[in-house]
């Protein structure tokens, strides 16, 4: 997957638009990042035990090129967030921050590409159809000073156990800031559920219980008030 995604990554970080086939490959790469992390595999394993699931999955966990989930990423609007010259983005052992179930229009995905650049698959309007709508061209937004720290807060909070910070940005302040919130609420394994008409709040309650049981901690409701939903905007980046 990395071999296929590497040249596409280079295109994105050099601000080139992707053709449709490469958007789907990149979407496949992103979704693979969600399911091969230690926390996802821990929750998945515990869920299999709790529900007595023994059958072998039909598709490889690191990305299925024919899975319908790809449409829910490839056909969203995309944008790139550029950190202020004094700021940076962090990455964690849960490299993708997914705000909700992939089937829901207002879900978005954040994926830091470098210390200065973050990729976003944006929230979409409520009438969005992932299988027929065509996305806008990718937009780029310059964040104001301090703007990246809000994203870093949630990226660090949704980590498993570790955070990656460029040596140029590391220091006592960063260690204190991110050490206090590291892994407080790991990235929920949303893809353990397919909604199929089920109410999202019921599906998430099942996921919350799996996480709480596995970690021996009663997690509250998952809330990303400052990040969700996150729409592509023509003038500035932000929440709506």
pLDDT in tens, 177-211: 788 899 999 999 999 888 877 789 999 999 999 99
53 pLDDT tier (thresholds 50, 70, 90): confident
Cβ neighbour number for residue 69 with a 10 Å cutoff: 18
CB 89, CB 116: distance < 8 Å: yes
Joined together, the tokens standing for residue 63 give 């990305």
> Which tokens in the block code for residue 101?
């179930």
Residue 219 clears pLDDT 80, i.e. is over it: yes
Where is 109: in which H helix or E strand?
Answer: strand 109-114
Question: Average per-residue pLDDT in the chain?
Answer: 89
pLDDT the model gives residue 235:
38
Sheet with 97-98: strands ordered across: 97-98, 109-114, 117-121, 78-82, 139-142
Cβ-based neighbour number of residue 47 at 10 Å: 20
Whether residue 1 has pLDDT greater than 90: no
Q: Match 């590497």 to its residue by tokens.
A: 6
What is the C-alpha separation between 108 and 231, in angstroms, rounded?
A: 8
Looking at residue 202, its pLDDT comes to: 92
Q: Between 123 and 225, where is the model more confident? A: 123
pLDDT tens digit sequence for 125-135: 999 999 998 99
């Amino acid at each position: 997957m990395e071999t296929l995604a590497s040249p596409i990554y280079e295109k994105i970080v050099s601000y080139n638009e992707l053709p449709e086939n490469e958007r789907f490959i990149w979407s496949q790469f992103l979704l693979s990042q969600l399911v091969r992390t230690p926390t996802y595999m821990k929750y998945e394993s515990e869920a299999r035990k709790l529900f007595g699931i023994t059958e072998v999955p039909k598709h490889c966990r690191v990305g299925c090129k024919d899975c319908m989930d790809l449409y829910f990423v490839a056909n969203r609007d995309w944008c790139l967030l550029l950190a202020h010259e004094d700021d940076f983005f962090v990455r964690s052992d849960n490299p993708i921050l997914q705000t909700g179930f992939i089937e829901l229009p207002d879900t978005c995905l954040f994926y830091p590409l470098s210390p200065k650049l973050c990729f976003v698959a944006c929230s979409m309007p409520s009438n969005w159809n992932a299988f027929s709508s065509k996305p806008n061209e990718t937009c780029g937004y310059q964040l104001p000073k301090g703007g990246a720290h809000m994203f870093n807060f949630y990226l660090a909070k949704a980590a498993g156990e570790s955070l990656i910070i460029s040596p140029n940005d590391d220091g006592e302040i960063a260690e204190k800031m991110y050490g206090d919130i590291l892994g407080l609420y790991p990235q929920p394994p949303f893809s353990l559920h397919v909604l199929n008409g089920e109410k999202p709040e019921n599906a998430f309650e099942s996921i919350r219980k799996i996480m709480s049981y596995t970690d021996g901690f009663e997690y509250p409701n998952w809330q990303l008030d400052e990040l969700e939903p996150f729409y592509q905007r023509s003038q500035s980046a932000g929440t709506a």
